[in-house]
Amino acid sequence: VQPPEKPLESEEWNRLRENFRLPEIFEEVMLNSMIRSNSPIDVAKSLLTHVAKRNGDVAYSVLVKYLTLCVQQGQVSEIRDVYDIMKVRFKILEIGAYNLFIKGLSNSDQWRMALTLLEEAKKIMIPSRTSYESCIKAASCHQEMKLAFELYHEMLAKDVVPTLDVLQSFFDFSRGMKDAELQKELFGILLYLRENQIYPHKTFMRSIKLWFESISGSKWRGHLTNIKDSGQCPVCNHQLEDSNLTEEEYNNLSERIIRDVIHGTDTFRKTSPQEFEAFQTFVENRLPFDIVIDGLNVSHIKPKKLHCENLLDAINCLAKDNVRLLVLGRKHMLMNSSNWKREIMKEMQTKADFFFAENISEDDAFLLYATLRSGKHCKFVTRDFLRDHKACLSDSLTRHLFRKWQRGHQIVLKTMFFSVFSQQPAFQYDCVVQTTGDTWHIPYKDVFEEKYSYQVPRKWLCIQQK
């Protein structure tokens, strides 16, 4: 349906309605298309007038649609009118209408009313994050930073996750303000980014930089840079935090891996108690390893080569300087077959320790266990992202730990054209927002959206105090 360009008389609306296929929903369809094509508000008004004259009442859904149109065009006085009407016409409003009111009013000089509406909405349900965001933006826009932060903390307390947009607005609006309390809150946001391993995007990073540079007296300077593989910042020569977990975190993680990933609800699902015990004694007797290899995963790197040759290449590539290797595989690898030649298997077994799991067991869980058990220096080799194992961990904190540990300890083998393998080494440094008090290092994304969770940004913002 094409909405008309000018307000129509009742008769004209009637005619349109009768020509419509389903006259019962004519108004809703028409209003929807008005919202889509952003029609002038008078046209919608004339439709409502027509409806009111015909039925003596305007249905709630139609009013909400009209409200959507008003909000879209920022017609504040109309929004107020609709609110007055709805408030007396209906006993309570539903959360969708509240969201619209809040969104519509927060951009105007009536923004305080949006705050009271937010309070009202809380009585029914937890308001959406967009409602919180509009209120926070409205408050910080009017220099009421304290109020904005109150709302922000309330939001976090209710497990409503703020978008980067609202976090950015905090930095934008407090630029140039002198307030120790405010500074603390903003540092708090940066620490929130750190704890949740969130990376700001480019424009957000710019806001952070500008805010730092606007603090008078302390003379912060920001530089964009790339961090070297060694983890040293080229601007301030500061060494970034290394990717090792603390003793406590490390123990916590290995405990949780054994409990949640290997055992889970039923040990038999991934292995069997006998097999796991056998594996444990095997590992304990031969500790510690330097590199643990997922044999089956590595053996599929080059599809044109035999599986065992792939594995042999990988072992030869990694077995330098007396490192102790452990290769995990399954029993079927021992059967002489076209892909697994017995002689080559024998040769490999002289160079590395092998553990063969049952054919129906999951070897990845063993991989994690052996690596963690060998200690912090031990790395593992697989192309698998281990997402399903991460998903077995029950809380987000442990999942973050796992991610961090994985970044620091996973080696990925890549095939090149001529050389046998190239290693993509594990990260030496930890890729999170970090501070030493007089410096801040903030990794940021070039693009707005982060495509893969395993990818970490390589670009950094270095901020230091002169």
Partner 1 sequence: MQSATLLLKKIVRSSVLPVAAQHGMKRDLFPLSRTLSLSLCVKQDNSCKPSEKLDLDAWKKVMKSGLQEEVSETVSEPQELSSLAAARETLEMWRLAGRLVPENVSDEQLKTFMECPSKSAKKKYLKYLYLKELYKKNDKRKMEEKRERRLEAQEQTSKTDETKKSPFLCLWASTMDKAYNWRAAQSMIFGQPLVFDMSYEKDMSVREVANTVKQLVQSEGCNRKAVDPFHIHFCNFKDDSLYHREFLKHYKEAWGKLLITVTEQCYTEVFPKDKLVYLTADSPKVMKTFDHDKIYIVGSMVDKSIKRGVSLARAKRLGLETAALPLDKYLLWNTGAKNLTLDQMMQILLTLKDTADWKKALEFVPKRKYCGFVAKPVSELKKTLDLVNTLKLGKRREEVQKQFAKNYPKK
Burial status of residue 315 (CB atoms within 10 A of its CB: 0-12, 13-18, 19 or more)? buried
Which range binds partner 1 by CB under 8 A, 49-57, 208-216, 340-348, 399-407?
A: 49-57
**One residue of 19, 33, 57, 175 binding partner 1 per CB under 8 A:** 57
Residue 131 and residue 246: Cα distance in Å, rounded?
Answer: 39
| Interacting positions 293-322 with partner 1 (CB under 8 A) | none
Burial status of residue 178 (CB atoms within 10 A of its CB: 0-12, 13-18, 19 or more)? exposed
Residue 174 and residue 181: Cα distance in Å, rounded?
Answer: 12
Residue 457 and residue 451: Cα distance in Å, rounded?
Answer: 11
Burial status of residue 339 (CB atoms within 10 A of its CB: 0-12, 13-18, 19 or more)? middle
Size of the site for partner 1 (CB under 8 A): 42
Site string for partner 1, 94-133 (x = CB under 8 A): x-xx--------------------------xxx-------
**One residue of 22, 88, 180, 447 binding partner 1 per CB under 8 A:** 88
Q: Is 45 a residue that touches partner 1 (CB under 8 A)?
A: yes
DSSP-derived secondary structure letter, 25 = G
> Which residue's CB is nearer to partner 1, number 84 or number 277?
84
**One residue of 85, 156, 335, 391 binding partner 1 per CB under 8 A:** 85
**One residue of 31, 51, 291, 326 binding partner 1 per CB under 8 A:** 51
Q: Is 92 a residue that touches partner 1 (CB under 8 A)?
A: yes
> Which residue's CB is nearer to partner 1, number 162 or number 443?
162
Q: Is 64 a residue that touches partner 1 (CB under 8 A)?
A: yes
Burial status of residue 101 (CB atoms within 10 A of its CB: 0-12, 13-18, 19 or more)? buried
**One residue of 19, 33, 38, 61 binding partner 1 per CB under 8 A:** 61
CA distances for 126 relative to 91, 168, 301, 447, angstroms: 19, 23, 49, 32
Site string for partner 1, 337-376 (x = CB under 8 A): ----------------------xx----------------
Which range binds partner 1 by CB under 8 A, 50-58, 213-221, 347-355, 390-398?
A: 50-58
**One residue of 33, 36, 38, 53 binding partner 1 per CB under 8 A:** 53
Residues, the chain: 466
3-state secondary structure 232-291: ECCCCCCECCECCCCHHHHHHHHHHHHHHHHHCCCHHHCCCHHHHHHHHHHHHHHCCCCE
3 state SS of 86 = helix
Which amino acid, 116?
T
The Cβ of residue 354 has, within 10 Å, a number of other Cβ atoms equal to 18
Q: How far is the CB of 194 from partner 1 (least distance, A)?
A: 27
> Which residues contact partner 1 (rule: CB under 8 A)?
7, 9, 28, 42, 45-46, 48-49, 51-53, 56-61, 64, 81, 84-85, 87-94, 96-97, 124-126, 265-266, 268-270, 272, 359-360
